[in-house]
Structure 1
Amino acid sequence: MANAHVAAIGTVAGRSGRKRQRRSLLPYGLILPTAVLLLVLMVVPVVIVIANSLFTQVVTRSGGRFAGVANYAAVLTDPGFWPATLNTAIFAGASVAVHLVMGLGFALLLNSPLIGRVTTAIFRTILILPWLFTAAVIAVLWRLILAPTGVVNYALENLGIIQEAIQWFGDPATALFAVTLMNIWSGYPFFMISLLAGLQGIPADLHEAARVDGANAWQRFWNVTIPQLMPIIVSMAVLDLLWTTQQFALIWLTTGGGPLGVTEMLSTFTYKLAFADYNLVQASASAVLVLLFSLVVAVFYVRQQRKAS
């Protein structure tokens, strides 16, 4: 009888132990599909690209000679690399700065109590439209807008600002400005939506206390609104910098890096190395260099997020 009782207790204990084990393994089982997907789609391709950048030819069964940093040296001494880096810096810096100003301006407009609900809803719908279009649609739209017979040239000619139509995407003097303007238009809603959410989360008591202390509208904006939005501003700026430096579709679909390389970005430079010159190992090295820059920015972003939390 005693042995049966002990056996029963052992059986119950075994079942409870298995249940606890299953419960402890459940979270890992839930994240396993995502982990496998990330491994296959992200980690493995990155490892392959890094491996290719260290050999004289693409790593296959036949293999290739180990090149060390020779491919990186070739990329860094390529006459097109540093101009592409400068163009990318100008393109990304201008885009992020104007995204921030436009996004904050439109967010303040939509958060203003002076605008009714219906008007706010209409403006929100109109202002978010650029973010809903695909890169192909945006490229086609802006090629039509900035065409020699497009609306921009028509308006400038009628205002007497220009005497003849400008080839916005075809003139080396205006091409970088044109693609930057296009990227600004397509990306500012990201800032607008994020900053609008931040504005709506600022306690009204802070503004009321500043008003009681005699602060005017500008002082309340600079000393209350901006400090409250600063974590969002920094996070959005870092993310936008990462995305903009890797912008490829808009550039490729409008100028292809031309004319005369004035809109050549690191993304198009790397693409041409791989699929125009068929130099896949140097293209891999260029991609790794871009990855290293992105990692530096990503580390800064993670540290900023930890401080904010």
Structure 2
Amino acid sequence: MTLLASKAAPPVEQAAPARKTLARRLVPYGYLSPTIVLIVVLMVVPIVMVISYSFRDNVIVQENSVFAGFANYTKVLTDPDFLVAMKNTAIFITVSMVAHLVLGLAFAMMLNTQLLSGVTKAIFRIVYILPWLFTIAVIAVIWRLLLDPSGVINYVLHSLGLINQSVNWLGDPGMALWAVTFINIWSGYPFFMISLLAGLQGIPNDLYEAAAVDGTNWFQRFVHVTLPQLRPVIISMAVLDLIWTSQQFALIWMTTGGGPLNTTEMLSTYTYKQAFSEYEFSTASAAAVIVLLLTMVLAFFYVRQQRER
């Protein structure tokens, strides 16, 4: 018996280090578990529920919903209002992204120039970054007052003789989309400016000095030195801006509500109206899934670009 006990002891001694190794490997997952639980509860579960709703009919409104297959997706994709929202969203995000890039780069280069003193640069930085400090609600209220037919914008233009009568910028079907796009550009360009300014300050001066020695002018240095060095930042910011702008809701809802005559209807406002105005939660879920897929395409290109960097 003693001999058998002595032979059985070593496996018990070997099991203890194995348990310690397993416990050591599980420690990182213990630290990550609160975040994982939050992601599952706040993201994964709602997304799965919305996807399931999109394949059923009369969800939430009625207790016994029935499986509808792709009927909700067919209804959404053939809805003229959805197609108008798709077109408006494409125009809105494309124009906003291009304008954000151009204005952000222009102001960033102005703040990075050696021709201005430090005090002047500090003043301009405060002025340029002001639009980014306001919340969307404040921005919407300010611009609704400014663009009102009796507002400051019409008064100034009328005083300069540029218009003969007041323009209802947010109520005119021909002007509303461009008005909200302008507001979005105004509120979003500081983020581009700050990011591009950081990129400009990270470009070595040796590159500019070498280009100057080769006899290049400022435009050639901008094309062959500045832009290539800023390319990773520009691509990352452009993709992120497309994702963020495509999900813009508060600004549109608080300025025009998608009107007039659906001229400012976006995918976000269309989905909201389907859910909380029409109470078509199945259709709203299908529209939300379509928006999710479009956003995932943009996110894929962003992640791929980051990996290449």
TM > 0.5 between the two? yes
**DSSP-derived class of the 2:67 partner:** coil
- Two-structure CA RMSD over aligned residues (Å): 2.1
Greater shift, 203-212 or 113-122, is seen at 113-122
**DSSP-derived class of the 2:66 partner:** coil
1:145-156 aligned at under 5 Å gives the runs 145-156=146-157
Distance 1:155 1:57, change over 3 A: same
**Is the contact between residue 88 and residue 266 of structure 2 (CA under 8 Å) also seen in structure 1?**
yes
Residue in 2 that maps onto 1:163? 164
Shift of 1:22: 3.8
Residue in 2 that maps onto 1:286? 287
Residue in 2 that maps onto 1:213? 214
TM-score (norm 2): 0.93
Cα displacement string for residues 137-187 of structure 1 (whole angstroms, at most 9, x for unaligned residues): 000010111111222111110111101111110111111111000000111
**Is the contact between residue 60 and residue 281 of structure 2 (CA under 8 Å) also seen in structure 1?**
no
CA distance in 1, matches of 2:40, 2:262: 36
CA distance in 1, matches of 2:45, 2:61: 15
CA distance in 1, matches of 2:286, 2:152: 42
Q: Aligned pair 1:91/2:92, yes or no?
A: yes
Cα displacement string for residues 76-101 of structure 1 (whole angstroms, at most 9, x for unaligned residues): 11120111111111111100000000
Distance 1:16 1:204, change over 3 A: farther
**Is the contact between residue 257 and residue 264 of structure 1 (CA under 8 Å) also seen in structure 2?**
yes
Letter in 2 for 1:218: F
Residue in 1 that maps onto 2:26? 25
Distance 1:280 1:61, change over 3 A: closer
CA distance in 2, matches of 1:270, 1:25: 42
Which runs of no fewer than 5 residues in structure 1 stay unpaired? none
Equivalent pairs counted in the alignment come to: 304
Which runs of no fewer than 5 residues in structure 2 stay unpaired? none
CA distance in 2, matches of 1:59, 1:181: 38
Shift of 1:122: 1.8
CA distance in 2, matches of 1:119, 1:14: 70
**DSSP-derived class of the 1:281 partner:** helix
Letter in 1 for 2:275: A
Shift of 1:47: 0.5
**Is the contact between residue 173 and residue 263 of structure 2 (CA under 8 Å) also seen in structure 1?**
yes
CA distance in 2, matches of 1:104, 1:201: 14
1:37-76 aligned at under 5 Å gives the runs 37-58=38-59, 62-76=63-77
**Is the contact between residue 56 and residue 66 of structure 1 (CA under 8 Å) also seen in structure 2?**
yes
Residue identity over aligned pairs, in percent, reads: 61
Greater shift, 204-213 or 179-188, is seen at 204-213
1:1-309 aligned at under 5 Å gives the runs 19-58=20-59, 62-308=63-309
CA distance in 1, matches of 2:205, 2:21: 48
**Is the contact between residue 51 and residue 59 of structure 1 (CA under 8 Å) also seen in structure 2?**
no
**Is the contact between residue 96 and residue 241 of structure 1 (CA under 8 Å) also seen in structure 2?**
yes
